[in-house]
């Protein structure tokens, strides 16, 4: 127990080291200034140091909320590092070859296990914790991904942060558009991120998706409960989440 508490403190301190980097390069709580980050050898090294310190810990042995926060922060940091290694690049989908995509590359070793981004998301976070809110915290360096914020997650306020990320996404036109179906009994459609379709089972099927949205957007209760109001999924924009050129 003492060892776990010590590891938690170490990771909390490590998370604090990540904060200044995110504050410096995350723009408008959505975009990432990869070009400026790439040009700073000091900040490139600081990101790599944070990753090295984090993976040196047996994350699997930590308490639940500490694990979730750490895995999400690590996933996002590895994605940032991957983009910076290939910058300039138009999309994360341009990284990797015909056989191994960016998500399938083994990037780190934790407790003796080689891990890729896919491993962290699909073999650890989703099956081990079964919390669909996690999808709103993972950033894949693309315009249609949930936005990366300038504050890393921490165990102390994890539940509140995940709720806030969900609420933010469901009020974001990149993710959700209720303008086509506001009547309780009329036809129309709610347009939402394709992630809701890809990971529909994580939400409990279509009815689970509707219930999830209703929890965060209760004013949409009637159109969500109206089966005549269909769910449509937006095209996914895999363009890099760099600041738009002015």
Give the model's pLDDT for residue 182: 64
Confidence of residue 245 (pLDDT cuts 50, 70, 90): confident
In a domain, 185, yes or no: yes
Beta partners for residue 192, in sequence order = 176, 233
Q: Taking the model in full, what pTM does it have?
A: 0.93
- Provide the phi-psi class of 160: left if phi over 0, else alpha when psi is between -120 and 50, else beta: alpha
Q: What angle do CA 201, 160, 181 make, to 5 degrees?
A: 50
Between 226 and 82, the more confident residue is 82
In a domain, 124, yes or no: yes
Helices (H), the chain: 2-25, 34-38, 41-55, 64-86, 117-118, 126-129, 158-169, 195-198, 200-203, 205-216, 221-225
Do residue 193 and residue 140 come from a single domain? Answer: no
Q: Which residue range forms the structural domain that includes residue 213? A: 176-233
In a domain, 24, yes or no: yes
In a domain, 243, yes or no: no
In a domain, 103, yes or no: yes
Distance CA(191)–CA(201), nearest Å, equals 18
End-to-end Cα, the chain, rounded Å: 53
Give the model's pLDDT for residue 68: 98
CB 197 within 8 A of CB 238: no
Give the model's pLDDT for residue 174: 85
115 φ, ψ (degrees, to nearest 5): -130, 140
Do residue 115 and residue 191 come from a single domain? Answer: no
| pLDDT tens digits for range 167-206 | 999 999 889 998 887 665 556 889 999 999 999 999 999 9
In a domain, 169, yes or no: no
Give the residue-averaged pLDDT of 204-221.
94
Closest CA to 199 of 137, 148, 134, 119: 134
| pLDDT tens digits for range 52-109 | 999 999 999 999 999 999 999 999 999 999 999 999 999 999 998 878 999 999 999 9
Distance CA(204)–CA(15), nearest Å, equals 32
In a domain, 55, yes or no: yes
205: exposed, middle or buried (C-beta count within 10 Å: 0-12, 13-18, 19+)? exposed
Domains in the chain: how many in total? 2
């Amino acid at each position: 127990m003492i060892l776990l508490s010590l590891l938690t403190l170490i990771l909390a301190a490590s998370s604090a080291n990540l904060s200044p980097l995110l504050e410096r390069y995350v723009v408008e709580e959505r975009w990432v200034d990869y070009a400026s980050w790439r040009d700073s050898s000091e900040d490139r090294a600081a990101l790599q140091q944070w990753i090295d310190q984090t993976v040196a810990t047996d994350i699997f042995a930590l308490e639940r909320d500490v694990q979730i926060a750490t895995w999400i922060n690590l996933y996002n940091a590895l994605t940032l590092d991957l983009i910076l290694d290939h910058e300039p690049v138009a999309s994360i989908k341009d990284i990797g070859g015909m056989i191994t995509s960016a998500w399938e590359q083994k990037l780190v070793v934790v407790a003796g296990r080689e891990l890729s981004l896919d491993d962290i998301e699909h073999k650890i976070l989703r099956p081990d914790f079964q919390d669909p809110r996690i999808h709103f915290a993972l950033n894949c360096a693309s315009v249609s991904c949930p936005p990366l914020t300038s504050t890393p997650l921490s165990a102390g306020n994890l539940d509140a942060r995940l709720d806030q990320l969900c609420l933010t996404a469901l009020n974001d036109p990149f993710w959700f558009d209720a303008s086509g179906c506001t009547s309780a009994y009329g036809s129309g459609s709610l347009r939402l991120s394709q992630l809701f379709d890809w990971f529909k089972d994580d939400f409990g099927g279509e009815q689970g998706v509707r219930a999830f949205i209703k929890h965060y957007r209760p004013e949409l209760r009637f159109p969500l409960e109206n089966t005549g109001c269909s769910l449509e999924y937006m095209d996914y924009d895999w363009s890099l989440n760099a600041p738009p050129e002015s």
